[in-house]
Amino acid sequence: MKPSDPWITAWILATSGLWAAAGATEVPAHHHSAMAPVAKYTAEYAAPAVELVRDDGKSVWLPQELDDGRPVLLNFIFTSCSSVCPLASQTFAQFQRKLGAESKTVHLMSISIDPEEDTPARLAEYAKKFGANSHWQHYTGTLAASVAAQRAFDVYRGEKMSHTPVTLLRSAPGKPWLRIDGFVTPDELLHEYRNLLASK
Protein backbone atom coordinates (compact mmCIF):
# COMPACT_ATOMS: atom_id res chain seq x y z
CA MET A 1 0.00 0.00 0.00
CA LYS A 2 1.43 3.38 -1.01
CA PRO A 3 0.86 6.72 0.69
CA SER A 4 -2.11 8.53 -0.84
CA ASP A 5 -1.25 12.08 0.19
CA PRO A 6 0.74 13.77 -2.66
CA TRP A 7 2.65 15.96 -0.18
CA ILE A 8 3.81 12.89 1.73
CA THR A 9 4.68 11.05 -1.47
CA ALA A 10 6.77 14.00 -2.66
CA TRP A 11 8.65 14.13 0.62
CA ILE A 12 9.32 10.40 0.50
CA LEU A 13 10.69 10.63 -3.04
CA ALA A 14 12.76 13.68 -2.13
CA THR A 15 14.48 11.83 0.69
CA SER A 16 15.85 9.18 -1.66
CA GLY A 17 13.97 6.12 -0.56
CA LEU A 18 14.03 6.68 3.18
CA TRP A 19 10.50 5.31 3.46
CA ALA A 20 11.24 2.00 1.76
CA ALA A 21 14.60 1.68 3.49
CA ALA A 22 12.89 2.12 6.83
CA GLY A 23 10.53 -0.74 6.08
CA ALA A 24 7.36 1.35 6.37
CA THR A 25 4.53 0.24 4.11
CA GLU A 26 1.59 2.41 5.08
CA VAL A 27 0.76 5.75 6.61
CA PRO A 28 -1.20 5.66 9.88
CA ALA A 29 -3.37 8.68 10.66
CA HIS A 30 -0.86 10.27 13.02
CA HIS A 31 1.69 10.49 10.23
CA HIS A 32 -0.38 13.03 8.33
CA SER A 33 -0.38 15.48 11.23
CA ALA A 34 3.40 15.17 11.46
CA MET A 35 4.09 16.25 7.88
CA ALA A 36 4.67 19.91 8.65
CA PRO A 37 7.38 22.17 7.25
CA VAL A 38 10.72 21.93 9.03
CA ALA A 39 11.27 24.60 11.69
CA LYS A 40 14.67 25.19 13.32
CA TYR A 41 15.51 27.24 16.37
CA THR A 42 17.86 27.37 19.34
CA ALA A 43 16.52 26.37 22.75
CA GLU A 44 17.70 25.79 26.31
CA TYR A 45 16.66 22.59 28.06
CA ALA A 46 17.47 21.17 31.48
CA ALA A 47 17.65 17.38 31.52
CA PRO A 48 15.77 15.85 34.46
CA ALA A 49 17.68 13.62 36.86
CA VAL A 50 15.88 10.46 35.80
CA GLU A 51 17.22 6.93 35.51
CA LEU A 52 16.89 5.22 32.15
CA VAL A 53 17.85 1.75 30.93
CA ARG A 54 20.02 1.50 27.83
CA ASP A 55 19.53 -1.10 25.12
CA ASP A 56 22.52 -2.98 26.58
CA GLY A 57 20.58 -3.39 29.84
CA LYS A 58 22.66 -0.91 31.84
CA SER A 59 20.86 1.59 34.12
CA VAL A 60 22.10 5.14 33.54
CA TRP A 61 21.25 8.70 34.51
CA LEU A 62 20.02 10.88 31.68
CA PRO A 63 22.14 13.96 32.54
CA GLN A 64 25.34 11.87 32.53
CA GLU A 65 24.46 10.27 29.21
CA LEU A 66 23.88 13.68 27.68
CA ASP A 67 26.98 15.23 29.21
CA ASP A 68 29.70 12.72 28.34
CA GLY A 69 31.63 15.38 26.41
CA ARG A 70 30.56 14.42 22.90
CA PRO A 71 28.17 16.25 20.60
CA VAL A 72 24.68 14.80 21.02
CA LEU A 73 21.85 14.09 18.61
CA LEU A 74 18.63 13.18 20.40
CA ASN A 75 15.23 11.97 19.29
CA PHE A 76 12.21 10.18 20.77
CA ILE A 77 10.82 7.00 19.20
CA PHE A 78 8.88 3.82 19.93
CA THR A 79 9.51 0.47 18.31
CA SER A 80 5.96 -0.37 17.21
CA CYS A 81 5.60 2.94 15.36
CA SER A 82 5.19 2.38 11.62
CA SER A 83 5.60 5.90 10.26
CA VAL A 84 7.34 8.76 12.07
CA CYS A 85 9.85 6.65 14.00
CA PRO A 86 11.19 4.45 11.18
CA LEU A 87 11.81 7.55 9.11
CA ALA A 88 13.52 9.35 12.00
CA SER A 89 15.60 6.28 12.78
CA GLN A 90 16.57 5.78 9.15
CA THR A 91 17.68 9.42 9.06
CA PHE A 92 19.92 8.77 12.09
CA ALA A 93 21.21 5.59 10.43
CA GLN A 94 22.15 7.39 7.21
CA PHE A 95 23.63 10.31 9.16
CA GLN A 96 25.82 7.82 11.04
CA ARG A 97 26.92 6.15 7.81
CA LYS A 98 27.74 9.48 6.18
CA LEU A 99 29.98 10.38 9.13
CA GLY A 100 31.98 7.17 8.73
CA ALA A 101 34.77 6.88 11.30
CA GLU A 102 33.80 10.28 12.70
CA SER A 103 30.58 8.71 14.03
CA LYS A 104 32.61 7.44 16.99
CA THR A 105 32.88 11.01 18.24
CA VAL A 106 29.12 11.69 18.24
CA HIS A 107 26.55 10.37 20.70
CA LEU A 108 23.22 9.51 19.07
CA MET A 109 20.42 8.93 21.59
CA SER A 110 16.88 7.63 21.00
CA ILE A 111 14.54 7.59 24.00
CA SER A 112 11.39 5.45 23.91
CA ILE A 113 8.06 7.13 24.49
CA ASP A 114 6.50 3.69 24.98
CA PRO A 115 8.69 2.26 27.75
CA GLU A 116 6.05 -0.18 28.95
CA GLU A 117 6.41 -2.08 25.67
CA ASP A 118 9.97 -1.17 24.72
CA THR A 119 12.21 -3.41 26.80
CA PRO A 120 16.00 -3.16 26.46
CA ALA A 121 15.94 -6.35 24.37
CA ARG A 122 13.28 -4.95 22.07
CA LEU A 123 15.23 -1.72 21.67
CA ALA A 124 18.41 -3.68 20.94
CA GLU A 125 16.57 -5.55 18.18
CA TYR A 126 15.24 -2.24 16.82
CA ALA A 127 18.73 -0.71 16.90
CA LYS A 128 20.13 -3.70 15.00
CA LYS A 129 17.43 -3.32 12.35
CA PHE A 130 18.71 0.17 11.62
CA GLY A 131 22.39 -0.74 11.78
CA ALA A 132 23.09 1.35 14.87
CA ASN A 133 26.69 1.21 16.01
CA SER A 134 27.75 1.35 19.67
CA HIS A 135 27.66 5.17 19.63
CA TRP A 136 23.92 5.25 18.87
CA GLN A 137 22.08 4.08 21.95
CA HIS A 138 18.41 3.51 22.69
CA TYR A 139 16.82 4.05 26.09
CA THR A 140 13.79 2.91 28.03
CA GLY A 141 12.83 3.01 31.71
CA THR A 142 9.74 3.73 33.74
CA LEU A 143 6.82 5.55 32.20
CA ALA A 144 7.39 8.41 34.66
CA ALA A 145 11.03 8.73 33.60
CA SER A 146 10.12 8.74 29.91
CA VAL A 147 7.41 11.36 30.39
CA ALA A 148 9.78 13.52 32.45
CA ALA A 149 12.36 13.39 29.65
CA GLN A 150 9.73 14.18 27.02
CA ARG A 151 8.41 17.12 29.02
CA ALA A 152 11.91 18.46 29.63
CA PHE A 153 12.55 18.61 25.87
CA ASP A 154 9.01 19.77 25.02
CA VAL A 155 8.09 16.71 22.97
CA TYR A 156 5.37 15.27 25.21
CA ARG A 157 2.08 15.10 23.32
CA GLY A 158 -0.08 13.14 25.76
CA GLU A 159 0.10 9.74 24.08
CA LYS A 160 2.36 8.01 21.62
CA MET A 161 0.11 8.21 18.57
CA SER A 162 0.17 12.01 18.78
CA HIS A 163 3.93 12.40 18.73
CA THR A 164 5.67 14.48 16.08
CA PRO A 165 9.20 14.29 14.63
CA VAL A 166 11.71 16.33 16.60
CA THR A 167 15.51 16.15 16.38
CA LEU A 168 17.71 17.88 18.94
CA LEU A 169 21.41 18.63 18.44
CA ARG A 170 23.98 20.00 20.87
CA SER A 171 27.67 20.53 20.20
CA ALA A 172 28.89 20.10 23.79
CA PRO A 173 27.69 20.08 27.41
CA GLY A 174 26.48 23.51 28.49
CA LYS A 175 25.81 24.66 24.93
CA PRO A 176 22.30 25.47 23.68
CA TRP A 177 20.33 22.94 21.67
CA LEU A 178 19.36 23.24 18.04
CA ARG A 179 15.80 21.98 17.76
CA ILE A 180 14.46 20.76 14.42
CA ASP A 181 10.71 20.23 14.26
CA GLY A 182 9.57 18.16 11.30
CA PHE A 183 11.36 15.68 9.08
CA VAL A 184 14.94 16.45 8.14
CA THR A 185 16.92 14.53 5.52
CA PRO A 186 20.27 12.91 6.40
CA ASP A 187 22.13 15.47 4.27
CA GLU A 188 20.33 18.36 5.98
CA LEU A 189 21.06 16.85 9.37
CA LEU A 190 24.73 16.49 8.50
CA HIS A 191 24.81 20.11 7.32
CA GLU A 192 23.23 21.33 10.59
CA TYR A 193 25.64 19.20 12.59
CA ARG A 194 28.66 20.63 10.76
CA ASN A 195 27.39 24.16 11.27
CA LEU A 196 26.85 23.51 14.96
CA LEU A 197 30.41 22.23 15.41
CA ALA A 198 31.81 25.18 13.46
CA SER A 199 30.04 27.64 15.75
CA LYS A 200 31.34 26.12 19.02
Per-position pLDDT tens, the chain of length 200: 233 333 333 344 444 444 444 444 333 334 434 455 789 999 999 999 999 999 999 999 999 999 999 999 999 999 999 889 999 999 999 999 999 999 999 999 999 999 999 999 999 999 999 999 999 999 999 999 999 999 999 999 988 888 899 999 999 999 999 999 999 999 999 999 999 999 87
Helix (H) / strand (E) element for 3: namely none
Q: Which one-letter amino acid corresponds to residue 188? A: E
- What is the distance between the alpha carbons of residues 191 and 200, in angstroms, rounded to a whole number? 15
- What is the distance between the alpha carbons of residues 108 and 97, in angstroms, rounded to a whole number? 12
